[in-house]
Amino acid sequence: MINEFTDEEKSVLAPFFSNMDKDIFVIKNLPEVVKGALFSRYSRTTKSVRRVLLDEFIKKPEMGFSQIVGSLDVSTQADAIKKAEEFYDRVLVDYGDDSVAELGGANIACENISIIATKVLEDARIGLSPLEKSTRYVFFDQTENGSYKFYKEPVLMASEFADEYVQTMNLLFGTYSRMVEPIKKFMMERFPKTDDISDRAYQSTIRAKACDTIRGLLPAGTLTNMGIYGNGRAFEYLLIKMRANQLTEMRDIADMMKNELGTVIPSFVKRVSDKHGDAYRDYMAKSFEDSRKLASGFLSVESSQKSVELVDYDKDAEIKIISAILYPHTHLPEAKIRALVSGLSEAERKNILKTYVSERANRRHRPGRAFENAYYKFDVVGNYGIFRDLHRHRILTQERQMLTTNHGFDVAKELTESGLEPDFKDAMQAAKNTFERISAKFPAEAQYVVPLAYRIRWYFLMNLREVYHLCELRSVRQGHPDYRLIAQKMFEEVKKVHPNLAAFANFLDTNTYGLERLEAEKRIDKKIEEFGKKYGKT
């Protein structure tokens, strides 16, 4: 079909495709709403996508294509957006369904939102790609108009706890800020620069180590920034879910996001606040509240110092995985294959597993889908900083409990060794006292004052393939020592119950390090040098 267009038609279509003479190409210069509608129609015709765009969009005056795509004048953008929404609705009625909204997306930035808010935004597992400001590479000691940057929770600011809340947040940030230079000095004395380390790599490594050490002081109400790319359908679900959240900040962010997304993908998010969206929101909110009341009637708070516990696992994992390895290479039903595998000797089973995964050359060579046939559930207790780091894994099921001070807090050994531990503990105790007073009346809002060093409980439910991915990735040398330990312990638990299945995690790093980021920074130096040679820059 490549030669199906006249020269005139090619000139019309050329701005919207990366090429006009190949079967593989990128669609460009089209609004997201048009892309979604275009692919919806494309799925229901024998025409090429270029032909669909030309015949059914560009050449049909009623589609208003030229107005939507050609309008660069700011004064006419509102009309263009309105026309685009009409355009989408027309195509949706004729050709599409809800899945059309997955074919158009948007980038949105969310600035000056709390760390708690970022976790709610990042709860979405499918259709959204978030990136959050790092507590490892950026110090959070800045002030704005003489005030540290933390969320002024409206319920608390209108309550009798307003002054105490502000004072405690300032204490936490003040302690953090006072520790920045002393901890950097301590790190440089503990890990002096050697001749084989560049100034850039050394300073970056020391900065990361210092940030990692004192980040536990930052409260969950710390203001941060994040960006998200997502498709329309994922945004719709996220916003409905946020509108059902018990926290004011979540509902406010949802409203602001809907307004902004409505300027570029209005049709994809319009149902967030229509009768269907409102009904879904009410269902979510009621389900959460009813469950909370039910649980509070017979469950009590209990602290646990066990950081990782394997609470459930697939007892037939080995048979299921080996059967799945063989399945695509036979014409037998699954039940028959499992029966045959059950009769194999251990040596035969090990050989099948070895054949399947022993050629892994690095951690990016993940085991195949057969490893998705066995599941493990871990109950984890770790500081909120660890949770933030591991929370970004989305191809699994995880759920957290409310952030409290009930499980105690972690103290980085460098704080003890540097003599900064007393000030750290004083700040932690002050936060605990404030939290306990606020939480008696406002348990959800009290979370904002809890520092990242305090522990939270959550669970992971994941298949073995994800266990390999998570544990190998999060145990790498440059990882934060706190979550490295969790990753190592999780795999230890799997190895105890399924040693044959765990035998091929060759890239699980169980060592401990001083300057975790150093080798990674050295590799960056090499890349900078290679870049300079390639582009003639120094």
Coil vs helix vs strand at 381: strand
What is the chain's mean pLDDT, rounded? 88
Single out the residue of 76, 100, 106, 101 nearest to residue 257, CA to CA: 106
Q: Give pLDDT tens digits for 490-502.
A: 999 999 999 999 9
Confidence check: pLDDT of 76 > 50: no
Confidence check: pLDDT of 138 > 90: no
Q: Report the pLDDT value the prediction gives residue 18, as an integer from 0 to 100.
A: 83
81-88 average pLDDT score: 62
Q: Give pLDDT tens digits for 317-357.
A: 999 999 999 999 999 999 999 999 999 999 999 999 999 99
Q: Which residues are CB-contacts of 466 (< 8 A; sequence separation ≥ 6)?
A: 372, 393, 395, 396
pLDDT band at 445 (very low <50, low <70, confident <90, very high): very high
One DSSP character per residue, 204-265 reads HHHHHHHHHHHGGGSBTTBEEEEEEEEEHHHHHHHHHHHHT-SSHHHHHHHHHHHHHHTTT-
pLDDT band at 74 (very low <50, low <70, confident <90, very high): very low
d(CA 393, CA 387): 10
Q: Give pLDDT tens digits for 345-400.
A: 999 999 999 999 988 999 999 999 999 999 999 999 999 999 999 998 888 999 99
267-293 average pLDDT score: 90
d(CA 124, CA 441): 29
- CA dist list (Å): 359 to 69, 217, 310, 365, 444: 50, 44, 28, 9, 49
Length of the chain, please? 538
Confidence check: pLDDT of 95 > 50: no
Confidence check: pLDDT of 98 > 70: no
Top-confidence residue, 298 or 10:
10
Domain ranges of the chain: 7-103, 107-296, 315-370
d(CA 427, CA 420): 11
pLDDT band at 282 (very low <50, low <70, confident <90, very high): very high
Lowest mean pLDDT among 212-216, 251-255, 262-266, 362-366: 262-266
Number of helical (H) and strand (E) elements in the chain, helices listed first: 22, 9
Q: Report the pLDDT value the prediction gives residue 92, as an integer from 0 to 100.
A: 56
One DSSP character per residue, 12-66 reads HHGGGBS-SSSSS--B-S--HHHHHHHHHHHTT-SS-HHHHIIIIIIS-GGGTHH
Q: Report the pLDDT value the prediction gives residue 267, as an integer from 0 to 100.
A: 78
d(CA 130, CA 137): 17
Single out the residue of 291, 395, 356, 326 nearest to residue 500, CA to CA: 356
Class of the 107-296 domain? alpha beta
Q: Which amino acid is at 253?
A: I
Confidence check: pLDDT of 129 > 50: yes
Is 49:26 a contact under the CB 8 Å cutoff?
no
Q: Which amino acid is at 181?
A: E
Put simply, whether the predicted model's pTM sits higher than 0.75 gets the answer: yes
Top-confidence residue, 534 or 317:
317
Confidence check: pLDDT of 264 > 90: no
Top-confidence residue, 208 or 47:
208
Q: Report the pLDDT value the prediction gives residue 73, as an integer from 0 to 100.
A: 41
Is 460:389 a contact under the CB 8 Å cutoff?
no
| Encoded tokens for 199 | 């100034």
Say how far residue 359 (Cα) sits from the centre of its chain: 30
One DSSP character per residue, 411-453 reads --HHHHHHT-HHHHHHHHHHHHHHHHHHHTT-TTGGGGG-BTT
Q: Give pLDDT tens digits for 291-320.
A: 988 887 766 656 567 899 999 999 999 999
Q: Report the pLDDT value the prediction gives residue 304, as an integer from 0 to 100.
A: 61
263-283 average pLDDT score: 87
- CA dist list (Å): 351 to 322, 328, 358, 366, 396: 10, 18, 10, 18, 28
